[in-house]
């Protein structure tokens, strides 16, 4: 269980905008959440909802147009000192979605894995760098001699491990994992998930785990936030979310999970989300904590209905 003291990462009213003037497009529209040290925080939503954008904005790849990101007590968004920038670059790392496309094909594994060190640890010797590469590779279950090979010589699961080694070599404390297993097949998925869990235990890592596969998230996430068109619509502890999904979009997502069991797979009804069910003209929605730790985006009337539902299902 995560320690509920200080949030380790805090995203406050994050807005991210792309394009200029008439082409302005707000991909993230006022998102707030806290991640505690040692937990795995899930972010789920459909394609284009802004998941990757949030991850990249935390990593300072995209600037925020409003709001802020606090990391371990310090603001890291906007203008920051170069010393803090170096520290953040080392302490926060990202694992990318597609292991086939995200590695530089012309570079050897050795360079790919140690690239990040050139920015934050310029002074280190070649021997030291090689030792760290060997350590990082063996930590993810690859042989140190793989360092002299090229990415195309590896399978999908091995390539994803290389991507993880590249993040680990920086000795980060917080990792944004953007769909780290979506491109892998079932048997390799299990390997990568085990590896991430083992590293988390050993190094007390904190993860932001981005995915659209709720069945996998249920297995690894402590808490899950649901995002729709750049806004969070629900956030809660994982089991609570599966037991009492409140927002109609969350329900639609849950109804779409394909269960690997023929007798149940086809019996479930597919719920479509129709945003016009909300009547927000006179009573606009607010981010509301309905029960401790369970947040939902809803207006007064909706929240009253959600409360009734929770009370109803709590009775025996």
Partner 1 sequence: MTDNHEQPVLQVEHLDIKFNLRGKVLHAIRDVSLELYEGETLAIVGESGSGKSVLTKAFMGLNDSNGWVDHGSILYQGHDLARYTTEKEWLTIRGREIAMVLQDPMTSLNPLKTIGAQIEEALRLHQGLRGAAARQRTVELLNDVGITEPDRRRRQYPHEFSGGMRQRVIIAIALACRPRILICDEPTTALDVTIQAQIIRLIYDLVHRLHLTAIYITHDLGVVANVADRVAVMYAGDIVEIGTSREVFYSPAHPYTWALLSSLPQLGKKGEELYTIRGTPPNLYHHITGDAFAPRNPNALKADFIERPPFFDITPTHKARTWLLDERAPDIRPPQVLSRIQSLGQ
Ligand X SMILES: Nc1ncnc2c1ncn2[C@@H]1O[C@H](COP(=O)(O)OP(=O)(O)OP(=O)(O)O)[C@@H](O)[C@H]1O
Which of 220, 296, 297, 303 touches partner 1 by CB under 8 A?
220
**Chain positions contacting ligand X, by CB under 6 A:** 18, 27, 45, 47-53, 212
Cβ pair 150, 112 in contact under 8 A? no
Rule CB under 5 A: which residues touch Mg ion? 52
Residue 91 C-beta: closest distance to ligand X, Å: 23
Contacts of 95 (CB under 8 A, 6+ apart): 160, 163, 164, 167, 175, 176, 177, 178, 180
10 binds, among ligand X, Mg ion, partner 1, none (CB under 5 to 8 A by kind): none
Tell me the residue ranges of DSSP E strands in 9-50: 9-18, 25-35, 40-44
Count of chain residues binding partner 1 (CB under 8 A): 42
Nearest to 135 by CA among 117, 122, 155: 117
Residues between 125 and 184 with contacts to partner 1, criterion CB under 8 A: 155-156
* Nearest residue to 48 via CA among 28, 30, 62, 75: 28
Alpha carbon distance 22, 173 (integer Å): 40
CB 25 within 8 A of CB 16: no
Nearest distance from C-beta of residue 103 to Mg ion, angstroms: 18
Q: Quick check: 255 binds partner 1 (CB under 8 A)?
A: yes
Residue 59 DSSP code: T
Cβ at position 53, least distance to Mg ion in Å: 8
**Span of 16-24, 107-115, 263-271, 288-296 interacting with partner 1 by CB under 8 A:** 263-271
Shortest distance, position 200 Cβ to partner 1, whole Å = 11
Q: Closer to Mg ion at the Cβ: 52 or 77?
A: 52
In the DSSP assignment, the letter for residue 260 is S
Residue 252 touches partner 1, criterion: CB under 8 A: yes
Q: Which of 219, 274, 289, 304 binds partner 1 (CB under 8 A)?
A: 219
Q: Report, in angstroms and rounded to the nearest whole number, the Rg of the chain calculated over CA atoms.
A: 21
Interface positions with partner 1 (CB under 8 A): 46-47, 155-156, 185-191, 193-194, 197-198, 212-216, 218-220, 252-253, 255-268, 270, 272-273
């Amino acid at each position: 269980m995560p320690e509920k003291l200080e949030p380790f990462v805090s995203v406050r009213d994050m807005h991210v905008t792309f394009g200029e003037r008439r082409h302005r497009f707000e991909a993230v529209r006022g998102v707030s959440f806290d991640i505690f040290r040692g937990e795995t925080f899930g972010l789920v939503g459909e394609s284009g909802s802004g998941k990757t954008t949030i991850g990249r904005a935390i990593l300072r790849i995209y600037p925020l147009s409003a709001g802020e990101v606090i990391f371990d007590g310090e603001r890291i968004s906007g203008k920051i000192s170069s010393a803090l920038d170096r520290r953040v670059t080392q302490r926060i790392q990202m694992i990318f979605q597609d292991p086939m496309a995200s590695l530089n094909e012309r570079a050897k594994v050795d360079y790919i894995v140690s690239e990040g060190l050139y920015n934050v640890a310029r002074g280190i010797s070649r021997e030291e760098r090689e030792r760290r590469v060997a350590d990082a590779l063996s930590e993810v279950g690859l042989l140190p001699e793989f360092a002299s090979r090229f990415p195309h010589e590896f399978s999908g699961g091995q390539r994803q491990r290389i991507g993880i080694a590249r993040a680990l070599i920086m000795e980060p404390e917080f990792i944004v994992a953007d769909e780290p297993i979506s491109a892998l097949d079932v048997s390799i998925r299990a390997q990568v998930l085990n590896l991430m869990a083992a590293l988390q235990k050993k190094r007390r890592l904190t993860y932001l785990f981005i995915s659209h596969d709720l069945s996998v998230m249920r297995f690894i996430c402590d808490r899950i936030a649901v995002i729709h068109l750049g806004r969070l619509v629900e956030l809660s502890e994982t089991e609570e979310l599966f037991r009492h999904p409140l927002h109609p979009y969350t329900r639609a997502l849950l109804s779409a999970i394909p269960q690997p069991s023929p007798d149940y797979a086809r019996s479930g009804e597919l719920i479509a989300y129709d945003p016009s069910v909300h009547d927000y003209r006179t009573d606009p929605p607010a981010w509301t904590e309905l029960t401790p730790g369970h947040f939902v985006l809803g207006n007064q009337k909706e929240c009253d209905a959600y409360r009734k539902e929770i009370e109803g299902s709590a009775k025996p």
